Amino acid sequence: MNKRIFPLTLGGLGIGTTEFVIMGLLPDVAGSFEVSIPKAGYLISAYALGVVVGAPLLVALSSRYNPKKTLLALMAIFTLFNGLSGLAPNFEALMLLRFLSGLPHGAFFGIGAVVASQLAKEGKQAQSISMMFLGLTVANLAMVPLVTFIGHVLSWRYAFGIVALIGAITVFFINKWLPDQPVPENSSVKEELQFFKTGKAWLILLITAIGFGGLFAWFSYVAPLSIHVSRFSPSFVPYIMLLAGLGMVIGNILGGIMADKIRPDKAAIFLFMLQVVTLLAVFFFSDNQYFSLVLTFLCGLLAMAVSSPINMLMISTAKDAARMGAAFMQAAFNIANSLGAYFGGLPLAYGLGFNYPSLAGALMALGGLGLSVFFLLKYKSSDERAPVCMPAH
């Protein structure tokens, strides 16, 4: 790994840890504040809302500032509010702090994705972006289970303390290793927002929100799927989650390589096709434990493989609005998370089995596939490759 990218990877590790660790600690938080687990679940929504609000807002506010200084400020905010989350005196305070902790998430990844592409060698932009998101996948594979365990054994408050420590270390390495990049004199929020008057911008965001939501429909209910359909014991579920996490790590790397070899929109079409097939296989074959394990790995792989091509598609299409475009992508990914959980849960609400969320996911992935094909046909005259030198913001 290029050591200049390492601070971005480390930031992704911290962000991924705080985003997902709360899911495993909900019973602990609920017990601590004497609230129901469903009410404690609002902490997940509060963070997601912070991501959606903060992504465009903080990028807009930082449009005239050096990217390195902006990333330092964002990670400092992240560190502060996660640290304070561990000291929250009541549930309402923790809700507010989770919202505030989510604000830097989208802006960090949005600006970081553009910086990573600028620091890459020719033809390696998508792989460079995938190295930033490697931190997010490693968080799912290793840090979330570890920090969840520590939170169970000691206190959920220690989990946020660990996240704050990762944030502080990230601040140090951003300052030490991330190079300065100039801000163009004509950079302005108004000019960046002009891109969002185009159909291209909203089509890419729609591809993300619908298509990426397909695997969230599966992932949101993977535990009951494993227990009630595949008939694994509940004690085996953590190993299944590790298998999905391993797939995410590998998929993230493969997706970056693929997006550098072929057009990002073509890569997205291929990966969405594989998602549809794999999610249908989950629906039909999850009652076989061996197939179930293989499909869990493949779903995890495909969940992250599409991330780099879609991000690269936005950055290469947005050009001078790349930072704002990449930030909006993070909001779209969080919308995909919510839509996937919602549509995946609809069959369950009607009493259908736990394999049906994957069928809903296959339909969402099919929607992403259709939209990607439409994008390719409508804008096929675009450059075959992303620009080699991204505009410095």
Q: What span, in angstroms and rounded, lies between the C-alpha atoms of 304 and 307?
A: 5
Structural domain that includes position 363: 185-393
> Which of left, alpha, beta for 351 (phi over 0: left; psi -120 to 50: alpha)?
left
pLDDT at 188: 66
294 with 204, same domain: the answer is yes
Query: Do 83 and 14 share a domain, yes or no?
Result: yes
**CATH value at residue 67:** 1.20.1250.20
The string of DSSP codes covering 358-378 is HHHHHHHHHHHHHHHHHHHHH
Alpha carbons 315 and 125: distance in angstroms, whole number: 10
Contact residues for 110 (Cβ-Cβ < 8 A; gap 6+): 55, 59, 323, 324, 325, 326, 327, 328, 329, 330
**What is the predicted pLDDT for the residue at 179?**
87
Q: Does 74 share its domain with 198? A: no
Last residue of a domain, one of 155, 183, 211: 183
Helix (H, G, I), strand (E, B) or coil at 30: helix
- Are residues 134 and 213 located together in one domain of the fold? no
User: Of 66, 280, 87, which Cα lies nearest the Cα of 174?
Assistant: 66
Q: How far apart are CA 207 and CA 187, in angstroms?
A: 27
User: Phi and psi of 336, rounded to 5°?
Assistant: -60, -40
Residue 390 DSSP one-character state: P
| Of the residues 166, 183, 200, the one at which a domain ends | 183
Specify the residue for token string 């969230």. Answer: 216
The per-residue pLDDT for 271 is 95
To the question of pTM greater than 0.75 for the whole model, the response is yes
pLDDT number for residue 384: 44
Shared domain check, 308 and 275: yes
Residue 277 CB contacts under 8 Å (≥ 6 apart), including other chains: none
Among the candidates 150, 167, 183, a domain finishes at 183
Model pLDDT, residue 108: 93
The CA-CA-CA angle for residues 265, 267, 268, to 5°, reads 65
Same domain, 156 and 270: no
**How many domains is the chain partitioned into structurally?**
2
Q: Tell me: do 216 and 173 sit in the same domain.
A: no
Residue 369 phi/psi, 5-degree rounding, is -65, -50
pLDDT at 389: 37
Other C-beta atoms closer than 10 Å to the C-beta of 177 total 15
Residues 359 and 311 grouped into a single domain: yes
Q: In sequence order, which residues have a C-beta less than 8 Å from that of residue 185 and are 6 or more positions away?
A: none
Burial class (CB in 10 A: 0-12, 13-18, 19+), 259: buried
Which residue bears the tokens 């549809």? Answer: 276
Is 253 in the same domain as 349? yes
**What are 19's two structure tokens?**
């985003």
- CA-closest candidate to residue 136, choices 289, 318, 300, 272: 300
Largest CA distance in the chain: 61
pLDDT along the chain (393 residues), means of 10: 86 91 82 85 85 87 85 96 96 95 91 84 80 86 87 91 96 92 66 81 93 87 88 86 89 88 90 96 95 94 89 83 83 85 88 92 96 90 43 34
Spatial contact of 249 and 131, defined as CB atoms under 8 Å apart: no
Residue 193: C-alpha distances to residues 148, 206, 277, 314, 328 (Å)? 40, 17, 37, 14, 11
Shared-domain flag, residues 86 and 156 = yes
Same domain, 195 and 268: yes
d(CA 348, CA 354) in angstroms, rounded, equals 7
Residues 143, 55: one domain? yes
